Structure 1
Amino acid sequence: MARLEDGSAALVSEPFAFRRGLGVGDTVRLRTEVGPRAIPVAGIFRDYGSDRGVVVLDRGLYDRWWRDPGFSSLALFVEEGLPPDAVVARVQRAAGPGRSLVVRSNRGLRAASLQVF
């Protein structure tokens, strides 16, 4: 996680890694608004929300490579012992009323994706 947080590496989802034949330590090449950039893969994670896959970058690095002040998704890593459902409820309350926000735990997202099949 330290390499992700300092912007020296990225995390990629299993579908992204599989489609591109990537493993930990490999380099992922991205087309950014400031030109092509490459960054090492520090880890691969399960993702049930996208069959195409995703790349997770430090926000500061993302801001340097893209001119996009907003965000469309957010991942939270919950401390051991904290109930994920309680964290989800707290995030929803913090967002406030009137926000179009979908918050799911990884367990909830996995369960929803398995219902499709």
Structure 2
Amino acid sequence: FDSDYEAAHRFGVTAVTAPPFTAMAAEHVAEAATVAEDAELVVVCPAPYGRGNLANLSLADQLLAKGKRVIVVDRGDEEWDFAGGEAGRCLGLLLENGAETGEVGGVPARLEMG
């Protein structure tokens, strides 16, 4: 499993798993949507994004449009957009549409604040 899964497990958060560095199958996207609909908030982790996992950013934007609280964790200076700029565009759209931003260390406290 990857670091996002490990973080979710550490905080007792339900996570949908898919093989890393492969395109998300339709059933993974549907399961992620179901889990996220029931969540109090959605955290967009500072993971690398390529064509295979852009669906996560799109899902976060759809949930934000429905009024779901979305926190985008700061990426720092690391290279993370491996989708030819599409991930950056999606992230920019999330922020324009009202997603919150946060630091990695501050997310647990914000989870507790609600």
Q: As a proportion of its length, which structure holds more strand? A: 1
Q: After TM superposition, is the score higher than 0.5?
A: no
The alignment's TM-score, normalised by the length of structure 1, stands at 0.30
Select the structure that is richer in helix: 2
Normalization by structure 2: what TM-score?
0.30
